[in-house]
Structure 1
Amino acid sequence: MKSLDIVFADKQVVEVREQEVPALAPEQIRCAAKKSLISTGTETICLRGVFDPNTNWESWVKYPFYPGYSMSAEVIEVGSEVKGIKPGDSVFVGIEHRQFFNVHYKNVMVLPDGIDHEMSAWTALARIAQVGVRRAELKLGETVGVIGLGILGQLVVQYLRAFGARRIVAIDPASSSRIEAAKRSGATHLLQTDVANALEEVKQITGGKMLDVVFDVTGHPSVLAPATLLVGEMGRVVLLGDTSTPSQQHLGPRVLSNSVAILGIHAKMSSNYNGITANDMNSLYYDYLLQNRMDVNHLITHRHSPLEAPQVYDWLMKDRSSALGVIFDWEKL
């Protein structure tokens, strides 16, 4: 069987390659892709290929590089030792943008009734957002800021609402569409401004107390320093966006005097966070969707055939401010 796979052949070179799918092993299932979500920030960083030495990015991204990690698919064949999964099942799997693929049956999650393929395609990003919110150790009624309203920031806003934040201050200079999406996601205060210019407005919103927690979801090295000024004494700054150039990242001027905690959290922790497994977090996300406590439909802005991948990534590299959820629809092939 042949599969069309999206590959970054080199820096800023995107190809759609036809490749052979290996023979099915006894404990594997074969799947046909339905929908996969582009992680726009992560994947454009991988494509751009600018990494500081000794970063996670430098060790992870080797060309040819196969992007993607949030896939919804249908099972079309099962190996002889597979248990509990059958052809026709809809599954989520953290795998690259591929038309057909084999995967160990224990590495997928069968979707519950009511969760469609577009909802499922957000699972990996929803889990990363969830583990970031868990890292903050929120207390009921805290005032929280979110800097960067891309797909991950929008999901953080939704989890903050579910976790009981009193005020959710959404900050992004990019576009009014992102601000409007954040309002629908649950933000109570909307600041369409650069983080460096948000200080006075945050003072007004909080009556001078400042934020209890702020999330930097941008991955941009210039954001950390002004972000630390938005929290009060003993405040927490959660770095959920991983910059590829940390040599350009600096602490703010009052981190020590205000006893600010800077908390890092990486996507790899979403596989198991303090004993909470990936499937536990996936199930919570699905339950929130089914209970109408979360929604991703308003976050989907673009749907494309995988054959359009070179043009899609070229557009995202130039200006992704108008993009939120960008879906590869494999049923268009």
Structure 2
Amino acid sequence: MISTLISSAEGAIICEVRFSLNLPGGQAMTGKRVVVPNRFNVELEEFTIDESSIGPDEVILKTRYTLISSGTELAIYTALDKGVYQEDSWCRYPFRPGYIAVGEVILKGERVRKFEEGELVFCYKNHASIAKLNTEKELCLKVPEGLDPKSALFARMATIAMTSLRKSDVELGDTVAVIGLGLVGNMAAQLFTLAGAEVIGVDLFRRRLEIAEECGIPHVVNASTSDVKEEIMGITSGKGVDLTVEAIGKPDLVPLTLSITKKNGEVILLGTPREDWQTNATEILLEIHRSGISLKGALEWVYPILHSERAGHSIERNTIIAMKLIAEGRLKVEPLLSHVVRPERMKSAYEGLLNRKDEFTGVVIDWTED
């Protein structure tokens, strides 16, 4: 049994967390996980997994690292997603956030052949020190040997971003503008570059633009100091781009996306719109109608999670591709990792991502000492 005291930033003891591995006789493993009980609050809670309950296709993981998905998690932390107050919502308070994890197999069921004990597994699990995973029903992949497990986490964000590439009609040599260069937007810009497009990245924050350049994005526009439309028209010799990807989820940016996209081009909404926005929809629809622009949504869940021969694209296949690109160094993730923090610093991580966007980009939670 391992015991650790969790304290607040001020030094007050919050709780004692116990964690045990491979206990004889099917005893419970006790760990901790992050919970958002209500708006702007984050806590650590204790929970258990009973060893004797492990199924033949299941494994139990000792989590190494998890990655904060800032768009989704901050929307819940701030209650921007109104589902937090709805009884039947998937994100109703109290909510246990996170869906990107790498952990070590410490116990496996009798039918598990994909993994051996001691191997590292990438999966869609929340911010918790231990997890139980069904290897036949849930997405789970072995982390390639030699790949830093912290880098492997970013395959999840690349998979989200890849949906915009899959849904687009972009061809070699086309121009693409990506509005918003957070984790998902940066990954989208890199993927379109790898696909042979000439990419223009747009953001308000200087550091994000610098990171985009470090990741090989050929053009960047600072929306806080420049006229975005004017800059993009200059880069494209007045033609506009073939495709604009809105990677933030701000509905009021739709008019901008239409204004920089050429006739018969595309606009893809990659970011999830959550904010209320009142406008004259007729003007927007008229612009789409007159310009022949296609407006598309790009939510990753339009694809099946697990791959099959009939599936074509799937989240699993996209993840395998993303992991390979990261392992080969073609999809750059190191510049995106800004902070590695302990679980008890989760609130400060959320606050940094929310209020210090020029400093906080990718934040990994380190569970290795738990």
Query: What range is the shorter-chain TM-score in?
Result: over 0.9
Could you say which residue in structure 2 is the equivalent of 1:244?
274
Which stretch shifts more, 281-290 or 187-196?
A: 187-196
1:267 shift after superposition? 2.9
Could you say which residue in structure 2 is the equivalent of 1:159?
191
Distance verdict in 2 for CA 1:136–1:12, change over 3 Å = same
| SS of corresponding position for 2:263 | strand
Aligned match for 1:266, one of 289, 299, 302: 299
Could you say which residue in structure 2 is the equivalent of 1:280?
317
The reply on whether 1:63 has 2:93 as its aligned counterpart is yes
Larger Rg: 2
The alignment of Structure 1 onto Structure 2 pairs a total of residues equal to 331
| SS of corresponding position for 1:59 | coil
Could you say which residue in structure 2 is the equivalent of 1:312?
349
1:292 shift after superposition? 2.4
| Equivalent residues of 2:58, 2:135 under 8 A apart | yes
In the superposition, the TM-score normalised over structure 1's length comes to 0.92
| Equivalent residues of 2:353, 2:361 under 8 A apart | no
Whole-Å separation in 2 of the counterparts to 1:267 and 1:47? 22
Whole-Å separation in 2 of the counterparts to 1:246 and 1:60? 20
Query: Superposition RMSD on alpha carbons, in Å?
Result: 2.4
Whole-Å separation in 1 of the counterparts to 2:259 and 2:98? 34
1:15 shift after superposition? 0.6
Could you say which residue in structure 1 is the equivalent of 2:366?
329
| Equivalent residues of 1:52, 1:247 under 8 A apart | no
Could you say which residue in structure 1 is the equivalent of 2:60?
30
Q: Could you tell me the percent identity over the aligned residues?
A: 25
| Equivalent residues of 1:235, 1:259 under 8 A apart | yes
| Equivalent residues of 1:302, 1:326 under 8 A apart | yes
| Equivalent residues of 1:239, 1:264 under 8 A apart | yes
| Equivalent residues of 1:195, 1:223 under 8 A apart | no
| SS of corresponding position for 2:145 | coil
Distance verdict in 2 for CA 1:109–1:20, change over 3 Å = same
Aligned match for 1:201, one of 208, 224, 231: 231
Taking the TM superposition and a 5 Å limit, the aligned residue runs for 1:1-333 are 1-22=29-50, 23-51=53-81, 59-106=89-136, 107=138, 108-165=140-197, 167-174=198-205, 176-194=206-224, 197-245=227-275, 247-248=277-278, 252=284, 254-272=287-305, 275-333=312-370
1:198 shift after superposition? 0.7
> Mind listing any 5+ residue stretches in structure 2 that lack a counterpart?
1-28
1:271 shift after superposition? 4.0
Which stretch shifts more, 36-45 or 82-91?
A: 82-91
1:90 shift after superposition? 0.8
Q: Deviations over 1:255-302 (max 9, x none)?
A: 221111111011313545962222321221122123321110111011
Which stretch shifts more, 239-248 or 305-314?
A: 239-248
Whole-Å separation in 1 of the counterparts to 2:65 and 2:346? 14
Distance verdict in 2 for CA 1:100–1:313, change over 3 Å = same
| SS of corresponding position for 2:37 | strand
| Equivalent residues of 2:155, 2:326 under 8 A apart | no
Q: Deviations over 1:84-120 (max 9, x none)?
A: 3211111100111110011102221112223221121
| Equivalent residues of 2:252, 2:277 under 8 A apart | no
Distance verdict in 2 for CA 1:195–1:44, change over 3 Å = farther
Give the aligned residue type for 2:347. P
Distance verdict in 2 for CA 1:248–1:122, change over 3 Å = farther
